[in-house]
Chain A
């Protein structure tokens, strides 16, 4: 079974400071990893994804994440926080088992990012 753990349900940073949101996963097979962002009363928007290849993945809005297999981690970072980054962030994992196989995303419980002026 696969699972996702997001350390820290709330993270607060100052505007311009580094953003680091932590995600650890467990999966019995090589995973696909995703970060989504959710603004209040809205659906989820994909920030970035890791499938294969380069382990450092760049996404939208200046975010990036690094897949570290040895640490089973996929932490999300942004060098300089902006007020508009305040939102809920979700890490998710999936794996593909054949063409019609299991495709459900398993999500972490989320991290709410606050950006202080």
Chain B
């Protein structure tokens, strides 16, 4: 169990640029989640995948945001035309589907995005 990994750990970009983040879940977990955390707040849910299917999306996920999980393994989160309000920590989590897992989610270290 190598844990959830996220790349890059930090990203600084200029307003209007596009950015893409990657998440590699724990290998046997087929559920994957994205959250956003701003300073002084708890994480807020963005979207979740079961295998390659995107099953739930938050209203926070505007049309500038897109997430994919093409082969049911790693996932990418892309933000187009970044705005300063997109500055946040983007957290990825994964969970297994075995009975008794009870929605326990394992989090990665996050990608901190700064939009100048």
Chain A bound to chain B: yes
Docked-complex contact B42 and A110, CB < 8 angstroms: yes
- Closest A residue to B10 by beta carbon equals A41
Bound Cα distance from A96 to B45, whole angstroms: 15
Min CB gap B72→A, angstroms: 14
Question: Does A104 lie within 8 Å of B45, measured CB to CB?
Answer: yes
Q: Is the CB of B103 within 8 A of A107?
A: no
CB pair B41–A110 under 8 Å, yes or no, is yes
A77 within 8 A of partner (CB): no
Specify which of B4, B41, B48, B95 is in contact with A109 (CB 8 Å cutoff): B41
User: Does B106 lie within 8 Å of A46, measured CB to CB?
Assistant: yes
CB distance from B82 to the nearest CB of A (A): 21
Decide yes or no whether B76 CB sits under 8 A from chain A: no
- B45 and A105 contacting across the interface, CB-CB below 8 Å: yes
Chain B residues closer than 8 Å to A109, beta-carbon distance: 40-42
Interface residues of A (CB under 8 A from B): 4, 9, 32, 34, 36, 41-46, 49, 51, 90, 92, 94, 96, 100, 102-110
Between A and B, 29 residue pairs with Cβ closer than 8 Å are A4-B42, A36-B107, A43-B91, A43-B110, A44-B43, A44-B91, A44-B93, A44-B107, A46-B105, A94-B103, A96-B102, A96-B103, A100-B50, A100-B53, A100-B55, A102-B56, A103-B33, A103-B48, A103-B55, A103-B56, A104-B33, A104-B45, A105-B45, A106-B45, A107-B43, A107-B44, A108-B42, A109-B42, A110-B40
